[in-house]
Amino acid sequence: MVKIGIEDLYSDIILDYAKNNKYKKEIPASQKAEGKNLSCGDEITIFLKVDNGKIVEASYLGHGCIISQASAAMMCEIIEGKTVEEAEKILNEVIKMSQGKEYDNDLIDGLEVFSDISKFPMRIKCFTLSWHTLEEAINNQD
């Protein structure tokens, strides 16, 4: 088994996304959902502007560790411009990846920097918080 170092989890790409505030904002009058990690108190709100089945804008607000913040920022970047159906497919693959299962690499363009997250069992929930919250936001249609 290849040994996964902490350098891979805290890589420059991930640190950059965690510090990037481009997607850290509220979108007024949008579909939204709040997510919480009860064990650590981290909270996140996901905002989606959906028009005709397409996610035209995505953003998040909240506080959490580098892993959770980078994951949220990358998620917003990837799902913007996708249809809700496409976003749901990506979501499924991402969850599979977080569980160490086989997944479709083509669908999760860019997220492979987190491909070894399943090797850090205590941090999986940091990574998946925004994705689980996305699922709720998608379901929270008016």
Query: What residues line the site for other proteins (CB under 8 A)?
Result: 5-6, 9-10, 15, 39-42, 63-67, 120, 122-123, 126
- Please identify, using beta-carbon distances, which residue of 9 and 58 lies nearer to other proteins: 9
Minimum distance of other proteins from residue 36's CB (angstroms) = 11
C-beta of 18 vs 79, nearer to other proteins: 18
Please state the closest distance from residue 95 (CB atom) to other proteins, in A.
Answer: 21
Q: Are the beta carbons of 69 and 16 closer than 8 angstroms?
A: no
Query: How many Cα atoms are found within 13 Å in the side-chain-facing hemisphere of 28?
Result: 0
- Least separation in angstroms between CB 15 and other proteins: 7
Min dist CB 66 to other proteins, Å, is 5
Residue 72 to residue 78: CA distance in whole angstroms: 10
For other proteins, the closer CB: 31 or 69: 69
Distance CA 130, CA 72 (A): 5
Q: Which positions ≥6 away from 98 have C-beta within 8 Å? A: 114, 117, 118, 124, 127, 128, 131
> Under a CB-based contact definition with an 8 Å cutoff, are residues 66 and 10 in contact?
yes
Q: How far is the CB of 51 from other proteins (least distance, A)?
A: 34
State which residue, 89 or 120, has the beta carbon closest to other proteins.
120
User: Is there a contact between 19 and 72 (Cβ–Cβ < 8 Å)?
Assistant: no
